[in-house]
Structure 1
Amino acid sequence: MSADDRRESILQAAILEYGRTGMHATSTEVIAERAGISQPYLFRLFGTKAELITAAIEHHTDGLRAVFRDAVENCPAGLTPLAAMGVAYLELLQDDPNDLRCQLHTWAAASDPAIKEVAQRTYRAVWDEVAELSGESPAEVRRFMSYGMLLTVLGALDLPDLFGDPLETLQEF
């Protein structure tokens, strides 16, 4: 396995475990085991648990931003960039609940100094990406991000019946 592949494997394992258990209950031993490496090697690569979780949050956010860029680049006729990003986000929510739980744990742990800076920075990066890709006003971006937050919470609570018809709502964007 190449160094890049090993790093990807570790970050995916960290996102999964962090999404399941949150910052303080996340086990570096379980992450190492999932990634097929030793725990000492994990710490050799990332230094501390907080640095590993920070890297996982950044990796997760980079992936989300890439999904949004891809959605806009391949936007079907009749959809606005915001609607295309919204559809792509809905697909993410349906594919892997740990992705959204990773986000929720990050925001919930933002009072922890080890997480606050990365939580602020990555949320702002997503916000800025949405604004740039859509070309919409700050008010429209705020409305879109608010709807995304609602979908995230409903997905985490496993209440998709409260989504209403998200595609209908997304057409308003």
Structure 2
Amino acid sequence: MSAEERRESVIRAAIIEFGRGGYHGTSTQTIAERVGVSQPYLFRLFPNKRAIFLAAALRCIEETAVVLREAADGLSPDEAHHAMGAAYKTLIKDRDKLLMQMQTYVAVASAEVAGDREFGEPIRAAWSRELYDLALLTMGGDAEEATLFLAYGMLINTLVSLGYQADDRVWEGFWPETVPQD
């Protein structure tokens, strides 16, 4: 396997491990074991744990943006809004990616509390560029609609993470195509 293929394996493993254990609760040894490499080899691919986490977090943002962009391609703002909502439902079926997304927010917030604003800079930049700007442009430049779309997404993340089933009353205000099925 090439170094680039190994890097890719590490990112995929990191999404699973950081998603399940969080930034502070996941060791690089655990990631190395999942990939089947030694920890020293892992650090030849990435300089440190922070770089591995960042690569995993940025990958989740990037993959989310790709799915939403493809769903909205060529549609009117209203059609795109619904299509992106339905497409997002497919993303959150991947529990590991959903958990990684949620852990990313926790890790950035924790770093901020500890006085480390730098930790979240690349994640904030990617989130703004890849997700907010995508929503804003897709919604025809309507900041209120873009904010509403992203707010619904965060609420969906929370409800799915908490384990609400599709028939629970908490889903009543959602478009039917956005309610995750069990």
TM-score (norm 1): 0.86
**Please, which runs of 5 or more residues in structure 1 have no aligned partner?**
none
Aligned pair count reads 167
SS at match of 2:163: coil
Higher deviation after alignment, 122-131 or 37-46: 122-131
Determine if the alignment matches structure 1 residue 164 to structure 2 residue 168: no
**Cα distance in 2 for residues equivalent to 1:115 and 1:102:** 16
2:69 matched to which residue of 1? 69
2:55 matched to which residue of 1? 55
2:29 matched to which residue of 1? 29
**Cα distance in 2 for residues equivalent to 1:169 and 1:44:** 44
1:139 matched to which residue of 2? 144
**Please, which runs of 5 or more residues in structure 2 have no aligned partner?**
none
Q: CA RMSD in A?
A: 2.1
1:87 matched to which residue of 2? 86
- Stretches (4+) displaced over 6 A: none
**Cα distance in 2 for residues equivalent to 1:43 and 1:5:** 15
Determine if the alignment matches structure 1 residue 105 to structure 2 residue 97: no
**Percent of counterpart pairs with the same letter?**
37
- Read off the aligned partner of 2:102 and give its amino acid letter: L
**Structure 1 residues 54 and 136 mapped into 2: Cα distance closer, same or farther (>3 Å)?**
same
CA contact (8 A) 1:57 1:118 kept: no
**Cα distance in 1 for residues equivalent to 2:138 and 2:154:** 19
**Structure 1 residues 47 and 83 mapped into 2: Cα distance closer, same or farther (>3 Å)?**
same
SS at match of 1:80: helix
**Cα distance in 2 for residues equivalent to 1:97 and 1:89:** 13
